[in-house]
Structure 1
């Protein structure tokens, strides 16, 4: 019997052949943390006072969640992180304004095929778009990794998802992954590895793969991963950085197999307050919104912003709606500036935010009031997610966000 992606990559790191369900100890290539590094530093210093991290070159810290600092408490946390970075000699530090960690790492070519990346953020699974074993960890585990450089995994079972056909005009990778989550459920892949196969995979570009992998955790997946192919090589400027890529054997054993026909995917939304509460936009009763948020690590890339503008076609945001646009990183912001995208959004009446997580987690920028409704391109719509437990968040694609912004109601982008 052949091996799955996760068996191969964890086996290589552990130095032995591994089986599903086995506990293995490995040293990740990178340990990512963000604003929560301040709390992790506290755990580290209480465990190892005055000590040094084991592998400073394997630590990546990105300040992105509340940037610029919204309060003096946030500012103090950022200051503590900067001091720690200097004391520990950590070179892979990205300060306020660089962007969201899950965009910055790929831009810096830090998430690579065949690598292992863990991060104190649940959407670390984004890097599966690059054939990386990437998964979230908690703060205590991050502190332990700073000290020891080592952690353990139970080798997960693997789900195969086959993708065939082509996405139609007005339909995006966000609609695809929401449809998958709607079918499998928010716990349908709990502690499973999810592999994407099929003839359509080669036609999905990097930004689309990132959207899909990013939301793997929303169906409970330990990792969500794509093969390394020409698309990966083009992003990484050649084959050299893909030399460690791995993929499942043709006779690997999967615990589940699901197939999706991309031709049949339609614009969908996830209704409050769970990501698997999915329906077609066309089936949704008229739903007025107060805010539209286009951005985040799920859909804040320049391709997403362009897709939204193609739907808007020069039309303005209706007066009853606040439209917020958040480029995922400084690099994406610059590209959007150079292409005139930022100017178009501003002229349309949108508010453009600095690169960062912004309203997604509800800590600052774009928080909702009680009873308000938001159409967001983010990855979660839990009660209280955008700062108000009595608000309502619908998740959708950049195209649906754009159509909603110019109509004031959640709208199928194919209808405008």
Structure 2
């Protein structure tokens, strides 16, 4: 099993000047937010609401001053602060005001204070394989503990309070297959196998499926699940980069893989879809999006999510998708739907399941720092969708005859 790696977060950066500035800015920000921030000694900040408890102020502000985009999450991992209420409830007011948390005059300083993305995490063919390995090859057993029976690691689609997670995941998958027109005899390419549920459902529709992954662990389990379901002969699970894919297909589907492509490779990715589709072919794509102005403002920033969860990741905006499809392909976007509220629900359920399963996850060899890291990751992302800073869209595209 591949073990997670992170620097020794017990080492607190010594940045007194930046810590002083970070504390002043933090106090300025939270006084307008519907949260309650408590400090040792009884001081309370904020307008009232879910409680963020700063247990160790000095390490908290020094980490925040050294690099706010990374230090806030690292402080949670280290135990410098905690949530007295639900973590996502605490983080949502921050996510709702993400674009304005830092006053505009100070935003101009971003280029000098933001860490830059390391060149080692570029999504070259070798770099993409390593980036995927660092997250998806953690352990199949880990993911099985908090995902549902479909082993689907992307937003579900909920339509009612009575939906369970597996039902909502199958609804999402079927919607993507419908956008791509997948049915009996369809030659289907999937970019990003996951653990095989989409390929399984496509094969049950009568499709012949080629599915690509860069994760050895996912390939192994996907093949087993497909064989156990009796559709293994209809699905070819390849360890292959999308740029190396060959053949001609009636349909291409890709669910939340575009986030791992990287901005410099977006033209290549969409041009590959176009190249592999036959005339009249269709695409079903699902991807996480963010506001276009925030995408532009943060495109070079290195964040906590990059460092600890998704190295090399980069979210698109709707205008970015439309622009790259228009300029680099002959495809046409025919349909689009937003599922942001469903992703917030999906993440809430994953976090609950992760925490409930923690005793078994710990037995796999993961430590308390990993637990706080993943609790923060899932809560942070849920807050992003609840606060409408993030969204997720399904796109239906067509290639003209």
TM-score, with normalisation over the residues of structure 1?
0.29
Larger Rg: 2
TM-score, with normalisation over the residues of structure 2?
0.29
Higher helix share: 2
